[in-house]
Amino acid sequence: MSTVLITGAARGLGLDFTRRYAAKGWKVLACARKPEALEAVKGDIHHHPLDVTDYKAVKTLAKRLSGEAIDVLICNAGISGERGDAAQTLGSLDPELWRKVFEVNALAPLMMAEAFADHVARSQQRKLIAITSILGSIAKNDGGRYIYRASKTALNMEWSCLARDLAGRGVICVALHPGWVQTDMGGPSATLTIEQSVPGMIKVIDGLRPADNGRYLQYDGTELPW
Ligand SMILES: NC(=O)c1ccc[n+]([C@@H]2O[C@H](COP(=O)([O-])OP(=O)(O)OC[C@H]3O[C@@H](n4cnc5c(N)ncnc54)[C@H](OP(=O)(O)O)[C@@H]3O)[C@@H](O)[C@H]2O)c1
């Protein structure tokens, strides 16, 4: 039996990852602040209360799960900052928002990776996935959204470093863009439904091999420019 750990597992893309991995018969370590939505999901689900920015709690959880081999770890939890983007626009940047968004989107995934690297390295599949965004690409940038974009660029750099630093242990580190998806974050105008994005991402993750270590991909397997 394979095991997946998902952060932000009770809403949006994270909840659908939880449902689909559970339906595949995987053991799901579902980390979420508010577990209510997880109660309705059938399968081998283990809820662990976790705010990803509580690094003491992250370490405690890693210790509590020290007997687990985690085949796939998905750092999914993220925030976009305020809607309307006013606080992310040149001329009215909000430094507090910068700190908040970077904390959740860039620092927390790295602290998760550090805390759980051993659990992943001792598993069969050894896959460490960051749910990033195409908005983090420097090569494909049309400006604006300074804070969210920069937080995902930082996340991409971290995954590029992890790919190098954990390669010797056979860990496959991939930054994965879900597409623009109709969630609370993506909003109703997004071009993809959750049902189009998450199965695509799971197919990509299933197909990852050691040669894919260090890649930046989107939900349909397309390579993205850093
Ligand atoms: N939707 C898109 O179009 C899109 C595009 C590109 C990338 N992404 C990325 O995909 C990921 C999931 O986004 P989504 O669309 O599913 O957004 P969402 O519906 O807003 O869900 C965000 C998830 O992150 C969790 N979260 C936020 N801060 C947290 C914290 N401090 N500790 C633990 N959990 C926290 C939320 O948990 P609570 O319920 O407790 O708040 C929720 O489960 C994010 O990393 C996002 O940047 C999304």
Residue 185 CA to ligand 1 centre (angstroms): 7
Q: Is 58 in the pocket of ligand 1 (CB under 6 A)?
A: no
Instruction: Decide if 199 is inside a domain.
Output: yes
Residue 11 CA to ligand 1 centre (angstroms): 7
Structural domain boundaries enclosing 111:
3-218
Which CATH number belongs to the domain containing residue 73 in this structure? 3.40.50.720
Q: Is residue 85 pLDDT above 90, yes or no?
A: no
Residue 168 CA to ligand 1 centre (angstroms): 31
Structure-model confidence comparison of residues 88 and 53, the more confident one = 53
Q: Is 181 in the pocket of ligand 1 (CB under 6 A)?
A: yes
> Which of helix, strand or coil describes residue 198?
helix
- Per-residue pLDDT tens over the stretch 121-149: 999 999 999 999 999 999 999 999 999 99
Please give the pLDDT value at position 84.
56
Instruction: Decide if 144 is inside a domain.
Output: yes
Q: What is the pTM of this model?
A: 0.98
Count of domains observed in the chain: 1
Residues 6 or more apart whose CB falls under 8 angstroms from that of 104 comprise 52, 53, 77, 78, 79, 151
- Min mean pLDDT across 12-16, 57-61, 88-92 is at 88-92
Helices (H) and strands (E) in the chain, counts: 6, 7
Instruction: Decide if 97 is inside a domain.
Output: yes
Ligand 1 atom at minimum distance from 190 CA: 3
Is the separation of the CB atoms in 140 and 225 below 8 Å?
A: yes
- Nearest CA, atom 21, ligand 1: 12
Residue 81 CA to ligand 1 centre (angstroms): 11
Residue showing tokens 């992250």: 58
Instruction: Decide if 226 is inside a domain.
Output: no
Residue 148 CA to ligand 1 centre (angstroms): 12
Is the separation of the CB atoms in 216 and 226 below 8 Å?
A: yes
pLDDT (average), residues 150-175: 98
How far is it, in rounded angstroms, from Cα 180 to Cα 129? 18
Q: Is 63 in the pocket of ligand 1 (CB under 6 A)?
A: no
Q: Is 79 in the pocket of ligand 1 (CB under 6 A)?
A: yes
Instruction: Decide if 41 is inside a domain.
Output: yes
Residue 66 CA to ligand 1 centre (angstroms): 26
Instruction: Decide if 63 is inside a domain.
Output: yes
- Per-residue pLDDT tens over the stretch 55-82: 999 999 999 999 999 999 999 999 998 6
Instruction: Decide if 40 is inside a domain.
Output: yes
Instruction: Decide if 158 is inside a domain.
Output: yes
Is the separation of the CB atoms in 204 and 219 below 8 Å?
A: yes
- Per-residue pLDDT tens over the stretch 163-209: 999 999 999 999 999 999 999 999 999 999 999 999 999 999 999 99
